[in-house]
Structure 1
């Protein structure tokens, strides 16, 4: 805000373009109008920053896992940029005050191998037993595709990666929840096939809360 002294134009009051003149007993003052577009941009920026913060918090511990399981079909940008873009567009839900990860929309692997199908699980304390239909006679499926599991414990924000748990053709496998995690805690799981030496993988399948 500025004060006009010895104004040769006489009394000034009101709005003119992007400025406002206000006459008071102390003189005439001039100030700029609020930039509505700037305010909107600031709100949008805060929204994007909140989204990015939520996504990066979830993805940062996953970077090593995703390096081995996530293989975009088109390498026109760095792989992690591809991952962040997917999560920002598809794996966030607004809770009114911010954003949280939608676990069912998360991808823990990416590629063109055939996905795990008809996966079922049974959990007994810390042991989780999986069964699935191998579908080895179907396209993009090889009998020796390796099944992996990722388990997430939200309270601790920790991930457990079970590498090469079994071959596709096995149709069943068992793994154990880490002993350092409380058996009554909340867990979320995903499975997928991959061939790490060949940099191939399937889309992951969300198992739900274990």
Structure 2
């Protein structure tokens, strides 16, 4: 079924007979329905498909964050598109012909807001994580009211836990308790600032891998 979004004279999305309507880089286009290929995909194509599947599945739980805070929309490319593209190109390596995520290169957010100064994470008993940083609220475009967020990912369970708006930039510390599900397991942790208006964020620093006690 096709959908006309701008009235009878506007572009459409979807399939009508042997043609398909779509929007590409901000322009309405019509193309013929692609024919199924009888060729077997090459190893390179299969690897790219595996990378795409790995990255899309990994980023899905933080989609709502990246819709707000990953780069700047460009034409028809959404922030989600940008996040997927960045992660495939910069944060995936191939080991024994299988793609793997490189967590210390992953960005949860990407932006030009001033980031953390000397951020450090302390892993304590009971699943308690304490983030500390230094005050840089007078530097660049930083503000004392910028909000601190923490994002944890457990590879074993393939689950994220996001802790949003924990503190302000000038609070210099924030503490969270992760779910019991993570006890005894390793988690990967990132943090990020966003401004009060939710129009800017910093590049999310990777804080390390921690085994939850």
Q: Shared topology, TM-score over 0.5?
A: yes
Listed one character per residue, the Cα deviations across residues 37-92 of structure 1 (whole Å, up to 9, x for unaligned) are x88x722211211111111121122212322432x235332111111110111010
1:65/1:161 contact within 8 Å kept: no
In terms of Rg, which structure is larger?
A: 1
Name structure 2 gaps, 5 residues minimum. 1-38
What does residue range 69-84 of structure 1 map to in structure 2 within 5 Å? 69-70=69-70, 72-73=71-72, 75-76=74-75, 77-84=77-84
Task: State the match for 1:87 in structure 2.
Answer: 87
Task: State the match for 2:176 in structure 1.
Answer: 175
Distance 1:112 1:182 in 2: 32
Task: State the match for 1:131 in structure 2.
Answer: 132
User: What is the TM-score normalised by the length of structure 2?
Assistant: 0.75
Distance 2:122 2:163 in 1: 17
Aligned-pair Cα RMSD in Å: 1.7
Distance 1:79 1:112 in 2: 14
Distance 1:46 1:167 in 2: 45
Task: State the match for 2:18 in structure 1.
Answer: none
1:167–1:196 Cα change, 3 Å: closer
2:192/2:201 contact within 8 Å kept: yes
2:174 aligned with 1:151: no
Q: How many residues align?
A: 170
1:147/1:194 contact within 8 Å kept: yes
Name structure 1 gaps, 5 residues minimum. 1-37
Distance 2:198 2:163 in 1: 19
